[in-house]
Chains A and B, each alone.
Chain A
Amino acid sequence: MTKNILAEFPDDTFLLESFLTEDKKHYAFNLIVRKYQERIYWHIRKMVVDHNDADDLTQEVFLKVWTKLADFRGQSSLFTWLYRVATNECLNFLRKKRRKFMLPLHDVAKELSEKIEHGAYVSGSTVEKELQKALLKLPDKQRVVFNMKYFEDMPYKEISEILQVSIGGLKASYHLAVKKVCNYIAIENI
């Protein structure tokens, strides 16, 4: 789905050059939003579960992109940079949520589990829902790694560039995450 959408748009180098040209700035930015909005939204949605939160965060990510893209030096690809901004927004959001309500990891997971069960814009099989609930038992950073590897099929190299973590560390993190999820699924008899 996503790869076809990406192919419809000009390549990132062209988009970046156009963005830096004053009279093409809005046009280029609009193309960047349309090219990456779905990937960014789903990346965020998997982390925050709730549609309205994911919607707010997606908008915030693109507002940040609008403000900071002129300073982007192209040390990584645009896609890597966008994912990094989105990941940081998610992790900050979840951290603030915990701090605001003085909640431990367990209670945030409980709140998000409720949303998986009864929230708006959630419809899937029991297995899909239970897998999402099992993922909520993982620490946030491990969950990001799992989502990128398992759901998005991203190569470790790409994840490593986004999260700026070593490939070895990522492999260990993913392996541990899979083990925890499998244990949870076995205990719950799903």
Chain B
Amino acid sequence: MEEKNKKMPFTVPEGYFEKLPQRINQQIVKKEKSPLQAFFSLRSVRLTVPLALVLILFLWLVVPWQSSHKETQEILLALEELPQEEVEAYLLAEGFTEQELLEVFETSGPAEEVLPKLPSLSAEELEEMVDMHDIEILF
């Protein structure tokens, strides 16, 4: 490990370092000819594209959901304020069957959230109501 052994046993082809800058330059020109690569190597693009993608994803996921969620909340609030008689009259006028109404309620979440609160009725009162509105009893 003396000073005289500090040499390395490696050599390079003749004229290697004279040609190397030119070869590197050729590589750069080749790289810059690919416009797509050049476009994405721009610092502004590298910063903007991911931000734009995140923004698009955010808008796509959150905003429609928020607006539809907001609309649903507004409709439910409006429905809650409607008198029960009006709702019943509307449903009958539209010709909804009891089966259809049940299906809607089953897919609309917990019943207590969706159904209007019914007054507490006895069995006889309920039968009278059914007869009065001529509702078909299926079961």
Report whether chain A binds chain B.
Answer: yes
26 sample A-B contacts, Cβ–Cβ < 8 Å, listed by A number: A33-B24, A37-B17, A37-B21, A41-B17, A46-B8, A46-B10, A49-B10, A51-B13, A59-B27, A63-B27, A63-B31, A66-B28, A67-B41, A116-B9, A121-B11, A121-B13, A122-B10, A124-B9, A127-B5, A128-B5, A128-B7, A128-B8, A131-B5, A150-B1, A151-B8, A181-B1
Complex-state Cα separation, A127 to B3, whole angstroms: 12
Given A33-B20, A178-B1, A181-B1, A123–B27 Cβ distance below 8 Å? no
B9 near A128: Cβ-Cβ < 8 Å = yes
Supplied contacts A45-B10, A46-B10, 9 more A-B pairs, CB within 8 Å? A38-B17, A41-B12, A45-B8, A51-B12, A63-B24, A122-B10, A125-B9, A128-B7, A132-B8
The answer to whether A165 has its CB under 8 Å from any CB of chain B is no
B17-35 interface code vs A (CB 8 A; 1 in, 0 out): 1001101110110010000
Q: Which residue of the partner chain A has the closest CB to B21?
A: A33
- Asked if B133 is at the interface of the complex by the 8 Å CB criterion, the answer is no
Bound Cα distance A38, B11 (Å): 12
**When chains A and B are docked, how far (Å) is the Cα of A59 from the Cα of B27?**
8
Q: Does B117 contact A (CB under 8 A)?
A: no
Complexed CA–CA distance, A18 and B17 (Å): 23
List residues of chain A with CB under 8 Å of any chain B CB: 26, 29-30, 33-34, 37-38, 41-42, 45-46, 49, 51, 55, 58-59, 62-63, 66-67, 70-71, 116, 121-125, 127-129, 131-132, 150-151, 178, 181-182, 185
A59 → B minimal CB distance (Å): 6
**Bound CA span A93–B12, Å:** 20
By a CB distance below 8 angstroms, the chain B residues around A71 are: 43
Contact call A123/B8, Cβ cutoff below 8 A = no
Q: Is the CB–CB distance between A121 and B1 below 8 Å?
A: no
In the complex, chain A residues whose CB is within 8 Å of the CB of B6: 150-151
CB pair A59–B13 under 8 Å, yes or no, is: no
Pairs of residues from A and B, 3 with the lowest C-beta to C-beta distance, nearest first? A124-B9, A128-B9, A33-B21
Whether the pair B23, A124 counts as a contact (CB closer than 8 A) is no
Q: Are B12 and A124 in contact (CB under 8 A)?
A: no
A127 CA / B7 CA spacing, docked (Å): 10
What is the distance, in angstroms, from B24's C-beta to the closest C-beta of chain A? 5
Smallest beta-carbon distance B100→chain A, Å: 63
User: Cα distance A123–B41 when bound, in Å?
Assistant: 41
Which of chain B's residues have a CB closer than 8 A to the CB of A122?
9-11
Bound Cα distance from A44 to B17, whole angstroms: 14
What is the bound-complex CA distance between A58 and B20, given in angstroms?
A: 9
Nearest chain A CB to B16 CB, angstrom units:
8
Is the CB–CB distance between B5 and A59 below 8 Å? no
**Complex partner residue of B9 from A34, A58, A123, A150, CB under 8 angstroms:** A123
B11: A residues at CB distance < 8 A:
121-123
Compute how far the CA of A90 lies from the CA of B20 in the bound complex, rounded to whole angstroms: 19
